[in-house]
């Protein structure tokens, strides 16, 4: 069964704008991971944030984690058309990932 | 280096037939996972192998589903007496270890269509 829930379900923005999506989860986690899926490259790992971390950066990506609220957010800055994809958060309970339903992001030129 | 590979990429089968899906993980990865993704949805965990430990089968939806792994290499997912609700993309992933804190590398998936 799917555990995490992403919000919003869909997001449409223009190139150059920032995109923010949120994820809520239910269990105690070892870490939380974000993945991107598009038709061209399949499912690709973006970033992993451990339960004792609060923020992590990777290029134009910024992830935050609030374990007290059981929530995480993914920010994509200065979006590009190539960022068009579905984004999933996944709770890692000691190796087993539980994925949310995803946020579909469309970036228009 | 080579990533996770899966075969076949597409499989169309008639209801009631058995199918076998194959996954080749990244060499040296001790953990291997199978997931199912229905159209427009997230991934559902099916089964997880870690080294020589007993697999975690907690996500298998019914006893028609089974999986095997040979050592730390190839895995096969078998679906017996397929039903139309089994239609989905089946994704395999591997990671360096299965104890958490390692990213998972996904294969391209097998799209299964049951007619």
Question: pLDDT digits over B5-28, tens only?
Answer: 999 999 999 999 999 999 999 999
Mean pLDDT of chain A: 91
Burial B79-106 (b: 16+ CB within 10 A, else e): beebeeebbbbbbbbbbeebebbbbbbb
C-beta atoms of B107 and A42 within 8 A:
yes
Average pLDDT over residues A31-57: 92
Query: What three-state secondary structure class fits B57?
Result: coil
Size of interface A-B (CB pairs under 8 A): 66
Per residue in B55-85, pLDDT tens?
Answer: 999 999 999 999 999 888 899 999 999 999 9
Q: Is residue A93 over pLDDT 80?
A: no
The confidence band for B40, taking pLDDT boundaries of 50, 70 and 90, is: confident
- Contacts with A43 from chain B: Cβ below 8 Å: 43, 91, 93, 106
Which of A32, A31, A42 is closest to A86 using CA atoms?
A42
C-beta atoms of B99 and A42 within 8 A:
no
Predicted local confidence at residue A1, as pLDDT: 40
Taking CA atoms, what residue in B is nearest to A30? B100
Q: How far is CA A42 from CA A16, A56, A73, B35, in A?
A: 24, 23, 22, 14
Burial of B115 (0-12, 13-18, 19+ CB in 10 A): exposed
Predicted local confidence at residue A2, as pLDDT: 43
Q: Is residue A15 over pLDDT 50?
A: yes
Q: Is B105 on the interface with A (CB under 8 A)?
A: yes
Would you put residue B52 in left (φ > 0), alpha (ψ -120 to 50) or beta?
A: alpha
**DSSP strand pairing (B10-13 vs B19-24):** unpaired
- Contacts with B104 from chain A: Cβ below 8 Å: 33, 45, 97
Predicted local confidence at residue A4, as pLDDT: 65
CA distance linking residue A4 with residue A24, whole number of Å: 5
Predicted local confidence at residue A3, as pLDDT: 55
Q: How far is CA B62 from CA B17, B42, B56, B81, B110, in A?
A: 16, 19, 14, 11, 19
Please count the other Cβ atoms lying within 10 Å of the Cβ belonging to residue A77. Answer: 14
C-beta atoms of B103 and A33 within 8 A:
yes
C-beta atoms of A44 and B100 within 8 A:
no
Per residue in A72-91, pLDDT tens?
Answer: 999 999 999 999 999 999 99
Predicted local confidence at residue A28, as pLDDT: 84
Asked if omega into B47 is within 30° of 0 (cis), the reply is no
CA distance linking residue B110 with residue B17, whole number of Å: 17
């Amino acid at each position: 069964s799917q555990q995490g829930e992403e919000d919003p379900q869909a997001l449409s923005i223009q190139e150059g704008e920032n995109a923010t999506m949120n994820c809520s989860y239910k269990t105690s986690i070892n870490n939380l991971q974000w993945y991107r899926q598009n038709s061209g490259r399949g499912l690709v790992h973006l970033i992993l944030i451990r339960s004792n971390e609060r923020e992590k950066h990777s290029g134009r990506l910024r992830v935050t984690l609030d374990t007290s609220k059981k929530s995480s957010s993914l920010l994509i800055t200065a979006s590009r058309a190539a960022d068009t994809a579905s984004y999933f958060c996944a709770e890692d309970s000691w190796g087993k990932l539980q994925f949310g339903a995803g946020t579909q992001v469309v970036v228009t030129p | 280096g080579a990533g996770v590979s899966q075969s076949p990429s597409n499989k169309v089968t008639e209801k009631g037939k058995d199918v076998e899906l194959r996954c080749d993980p990244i060499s040296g990865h001790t953990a291997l996972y199978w997931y199912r993704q229905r159209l427009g949805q997230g991934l559902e965990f099916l089964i997880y192998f870690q080294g020589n430990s007993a697999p975690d089968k907690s996500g298998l939806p019914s006893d028609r589903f089974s999986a095997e792994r040979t050592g730390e290499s190839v895995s096969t997912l078998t679906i017996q007496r397929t039903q139309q609700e089994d239609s989905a993309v089946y994704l395999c992933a591997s990671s360096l270890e299965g104890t958490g804190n390692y990213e998972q590398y996904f294969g391209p998936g097998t799209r299964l269509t049951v007619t």
